[in-house]
Structure 1
Amino acid sequence: MRLTRRHPSLAVVLLCALAVLAARPADGDGAHAPGHGSASGISAQVARLYEEAAVATQQYEAGRRKAEEQKAEARRLEERLDRERRATAVLHDELGRIASSQYRSGGGLPLTVHMILADDPEELMRSQRAVWQAQLSLDRAIEKSERAEVRLTRAEAKAAAAWKALQKRNAELAALKQSIEQKLETARWELQGQADVSVAAGACAGAVRLDQPETRFTASWVAPVETYVLSASFGSGGARWANRHTGQDFAVPIGTPVRAAGAGKVVKVSCGGAFGIEVVLEHAGGYYTQYAHLAAVAVDQGDRVAPGQWIGQSGTSGNSTGPHLHFEVRVTPEMGSAVDPVPWLAQRGVPL
């Protein structure tokens, strides 16, 4: 997944970078200075819009499924109505056939005349009763069918009206979803612009304490992002890497919340260099995880984090061709000791 990078004008970048450098020293050892209100504001806005976009998408998809169900119900009722109408037509034809038969056998003469002329009056009476019963049964069946048709017609109209109402609601939800996504896209690139300034200056803004979701993970390990497409894998070759790719890339939009893969301690928050804005966590058992090319961080060095806790927002800072999260698992806090994160996570119950 690749998106075209948008850069602020060179003059703005230089001015912002000079202002950052004048305000605080570079953090080559991982230390970082307090954040600005504007950076905090845009990070929080992106996180909020990200959540709103997710909710809007869920509502739209739920409404779309409901509309499809209602449309299918209207179609089912229409088919049932057609069957009832065909059955009624058959009954009418049967009644017509009986009436014609009566007419051909002298149905226009009074019953007493038939009895006088008949060779066996009792047999005639039995036949007449059978005709009456058949006609009565047909009349009742037709009446029942007509009542059913009325009910089905009403149900069909109700289902069709519900489907139209749902379609209207879904159009409103689609417009809301599009509006939120447009605002989110604008905010994402504003957030990335601030990240580019920080990387150019080599100094990170302070952690933005984002409102954490209510979800509490019971598992000890989770994927570093919730929804993703796997892109460059561990060990793959490429012109942008000196040797081989040292992690697993997750293609996600700018501003996507990045989660701690497991419980641990923040041992590094850094800006600048090939990894751009990055966070490194230390976990029990002598392992470390790295989260690179971020647009913002939500933790400070020394913080303790829980599995699934938001520690930053994805971006495309540093040596990056497009928005994604670069995720590494290491046996030391520094690069050069990486292991393949896909089987490592799978061994801990997190298949990617």
Structure 2
Amino acid sequence: MRSTRRHPLLVPALLCALAVLAARPADGDGGPGATPGPQVARLYEEAADTTRQYEQGRREAEAQRSKALEYEKRLDRERRKIDAMHEDLGRIARAQYRGTEGLPLTARVLLSDSPEELLRGQRVVSRANLAVNRAIGRSLRAQDRLAADEARAQAAWQGLEKRNAELAKLKKKIEGKLAAARARLQGAADASVTAGSCPGAVRLDQPDGPAGRPWVAPVETYELSASFGSGGSRWAHRHTGQDFAVPVGTPVRSVGTGRVARVSCGGAFGIQVVVQHAGGYYTQYAHLSAVAVDQGDRVEAGRWIGQSGSTGNSTGPHLHFEVRVTPDTGSALDPVPWLSQRGVPL
């Protein structure tokens, strides 16, 4: 699967986006008079946006969880260091006691052959105790800082988990509406093909064009299915295009700048659009559920020209894409190397 969109999101943007999505107006939500094509396109975009936000939030939550676990490991190490220091102090005290047979300091001074030597020893022990106490103090302060960091990481993780749960509910709701709208869209397309009357162009809100890119893939996110030249019982000879497995209603875009040479429906290709490009090439987009252009329209690379479907001789939702040297069947080229030569690897 390939997706050409990459939108890095910051954590605070998730709540804002969630609020915006939740506050969208209810127009086109599936009422009897709703037009399914634009509704599917809008819901398609909302579902894609919500999925991206959810995946970003999931990655950030996992990073926060890993950070909290790392802080917990460091806290354990600090606790072990403090325990070891306390044990060192105990050993020093026991050594002092055993070395002087448990006598108090005054008695040891009176009985000592060299009080200066005894006092020097006491100063050494005091300095050792002071060094250990200072080290323990530093470790305790470090432990306090780590505990605060861990608490913050835990709070951030829990906040992200809650936010992701809300996004997952919203995603499920949007996808439910999208499934229903897709079914209505395909039903309307099938009825048009059966009646032999092409549906009129449904103008879709166009996305931002691919800046600086003269050629693009016909769909943005996809899985490749039947390839050019493959055989099978579905085709009279060999497969004449490249199929892109996408759900009903997926926006289909013109791969390059050109003019709409044909919009038709019926027959093996169902609802289809043919675009003429410079250099004597034509591209065909077949098995559509809706069209968003009329014959003669000028289109730019990335312009939405229709929506995928399963009309005509089709076993399931997909886009059949061809590159031809004439507008008619029988002049097809392999689309994969043709697009690759134009900077669009599939």
Extract unaligned runs of 5+ from structure 2: 2-31
Letter in 1 for 2:108: H
CA distance in 2, matches of 1:77, 1:107: 45
In the other structure, the counterpart of 1:209 is: 203
CA distance in 1, matches of 2:209, 2:227: 29
CA distance in 2, matches of 1:197, 1:318: 11
Identity fraction in percent: 67
CA distance in 2, matches of 1:281, 1:214: 20
- Do structure 1's residue 332 and structure 2's residue 332 form an aligned pair? no
In the other structure, the counterpart of 1:341 is: 335
8 Å CA contact 1:293, 1:320 repeated in 2: yes
Greater RCO (Cα-Cα under 8 Å, separation 6 or more):
1
In the other structure, the counterpart of 1:34 is: none
In the other structure, the counterpart of 1:183 is: 177
1:238 CA displacement: 0.7
1:112 CA displacement: 4.0
Mean Cα displacement is larger for which, 287-296 or 139-148? 139-148
1:165 CA displacement: 2.0
Per-residue CA deviation, residues 124-152 of structure 1 (Å, 9 max, x unaligned), is: 22221110011011111112222222232
What pairs up with 1:1-352 in 2 under 5 angstroms?
41-106=35-100, 108-352=102-346
SS of residue in 1 equivalent to 2:338: helix
In the other structure, the counterpart of 2:15 is: none
SS of residue in 1 equivalent to 2:124: helix
8 Å CA contact 1:40, 1:208 repeated in 2: no
Per-residue CA deviation, residues 197-241 of structure 1 (Å, 9 max, x unaligned), is: 111112111111100112433111110000100000000001010
CA distance in 2, matches of 1:231, 1:342: 12
1:117 CA displacement: 2.2
Letter in 1 for 2:237: N
Letter in 2 for 1:95: L
In the other structure, the counterpart of 1:10 is: none
CA distance in 2, matches of 1:211, 1:278: 20
1:39 CA displacement: 9.0
Alpha carbons of structure 1 residues 247 and 97: separation in structure 2 relative to 1, 3 Å: same
CA distance in 2, matches of 1:307, 1:131: 82
1:110 CA displacement: 4.0
What is the root-mean-square deviation of aligned Cα atoms in Å?
1.8
Alpha carbons of structure 1 residues 155 and 295: separation in structure 2 relative to 1, 3 Å: same
SS of residue in 2 equivalent to 1:228: strand
Alpha carbons of structure 1 residues 226 and 75: separation in structure 2 relative to 1, 3 Å: same
In the other structure, the counterpart of 1:18 is: none
Letter in 1 for 2:61: A
8 Å CA contact 1:221, 1:262 repeated in 2: yes
8 Å CA contact 2:209, 2:303 repeated in 1: no
1:113 CA displacement: 3.1
Extract unaligned runs of 5+ from structure 1: 2-37
